[in-house]
Structure 1
Amino acid sequence: MTNKDKRILIIAGGVLIAGLVAYLAVDGLLLSELRWCGTQQVNLANGINAEMTKKRANDKIVSQLNQMASRTLGDNQQIVIETIRKRLDDIAEKCGLEGQSKGSGRPNASPDWKPVAASPLPKNSPKDKDVQLGWAITARGRLDQVTDFLYMLENEPYLHRLENLKITPKDGKLDISVTFLTLALAPSSSGRSPATMPDNIPFADLKNRKPEYAAIVARDLLRPYVPKPAEVVRPPEVVVAPPPNNPTKPPPPPPVATFRLVGLPNWGDDQEVSLRNNLSSEMKYVKVGQKFAGAEIVMVDYRSLPRPDNKDVMSYGRLIQKIDSTYFSTELGQNVTDRREMKTTDLPSELQKPTTAPAGTTTAEAEK
């Protein structure tokens, strides 16, 4: 390599080094500053978007508060509670409800009212803030009257809620108790509109209520349990057929063994025995004191005892029959003729006779 070539390489290397040094200087002074400015611009844009999102949420909350405030009667607690009392009294009168307390001297005494102590919202806040107040109502009426009353309360236009609803059937009517709560909104410096709702808004029209309310009355959902009336057992009608021209031996009666003990219902003081014919599935009902299959039905025993045919299985009911002076038992699920003779010790206490010693026998001899 000649000296000229060396000079060219040295000059080229110096130019490259000088260019690199110039780039680093420009990057350190200008480009890094530009990148910092870009980062600050992105952060500022994100902050603006977050503030705008908060503002939209705040505007929505303020709109909801204004809408709720427009459904109140103002901040005067006395006016609010008396206005609500008058409306509730009018609703109860329209529905025909009466009071539960007796001795009022009026056939249609108005419902009983008890004011609910005013409580600030939220709890433990100063008394000059929003306050919750209302009335506890106790009344009595028919099912349709109580249903109309609850419908009209639910559709009251004023801001409210219902608590502690209790309905109890009593003497053919319903006793209802419920707490009606509303708000007295205090003046606010946050831009919330003052309460402007008038106190003469018409009541809910019962003609527009939902079909579910009519179904409650139609199905009588709150009717108390009515026990099944005692069934009147009529003797079977005996039809005497005329003798045939060619008399033949009558067919034998169906075997009693086909009747199975399937039920031991108890209707109050009446005990009944349910029997089913295994051949025709026909049901037959016999009461205690009647005779069936050559035996007198003495009583239904509901004691829990091991089954005679399987000591590992408990039986919770049996039929006790009497033939002459001997007692027999048929367990639930057995045929009527599957009788088992009962010892005196096996009988219920109602059927056990006290043992008396013969005259002239000492106590020690009687015990032997």
Structure 2
Amino acid sequence: MRKTVRHLADGREIIYFDDSAKPPPRDALDTRDLPAVAADSQIRRDPLTGEWVALAAHRQTRTYKPPADLCPLCPSKPGKPSEIPESDYDVVVFENRFPSFAQSVTGEKGTLDGRGLVPVAPGKGRCEVVCFTSDHDRSFGELSQERVRTVVDVWADRTATLSTVDGVEQVFPFENRGEEIGVTLHHPHGQIYGYPFVTPRTERMLATAAEYHAAHGRHVLGDVLAAERETGSRVIAAGEHWTAFVPPAARWPVQVLVVPHRQVPDLTGLTGAERTDFAEVYLKVLRCCDALYDRPLPYVAAWHQAPVRRGRDLSWLHLELFSVLRSKDKLKYLAGSESGMAVWVNDATPEQIAERLRAACAPR
């Protein structure tokens, strides 16, 4: 894989990752007249929960559902410049033009209104967009196994780089797919957030892992993985180095964990063989998901990685995929119990979810 770093008209970094045999030099210029990125992010900690909340009002003006011929993630064409100046690409990463967190934000740490009750700080971090292919009409599940392996290498590269960025405490690669999830750009792409704090979900998982290790001397996800591989009732796909299964306390109508058999804190710790095996197992999972309702499944695919500076010995890298679609044309809404009290009520058991997924991708 060849990596080439360039810059867009407003100074943002763009990085080309080429897996083709003889890629071009990647020297196309961004001809647009762009204003400087004006990110004004702030984070505030909720005094009742201790959780950080990001405020990024400048994102209200971000691009929203453009027509396909004006897609900003497609390669540039004559008279139609996009975020990617080249006429074609393999995988490309660039700084988000409307970031939730950025290095350019200003401000000082303090408290809201100087009262000492609500800590505030500039939302200093980094947000990147990852385009998986130049083909506007493909999906991640339609990529070749070789391309998925390239994307894994890109995720690992960006995790390593963003972990050194000033203010970043956790690196989060993810993909949102489908309008039901809230996607406004249909080109196959994901994002990477470099958070200026450790996320609430990760804090909770680290606390649970620490408690379990103190009681049993083992990692909780390692024991869950072993139990799932032994029983097999919730397993969707498995390879030499990874197993995909519906979690035993699934919250979502479709939910799958893809877990490596070896504990590593983040994507940078995966071997070449583990990265290749992930590509094979994950593509199987995505094929099952798209076959479930005989339509493209809207989903979130989220990498759970260790924080940059702490809890790394308690972290076990894994991917979580979930969907809000509970039938072909019905959504799972987060209503009173879920939104108000964070108590989830699922309309299907994990065993039923797993059986439906296995049946969907079985030979017909």
TM range (shorter): under 0.3
Structure with the larger RCO, 1 or 2 (CA within 8 Å, 6+ apart): 2
TM-score relative to the length of structure 2: 0.24
TM-score relative to the length of structure 1: 0.24
Q: Which structure is larger by alpha-carbon Rg, 1 or 2?
A: 1
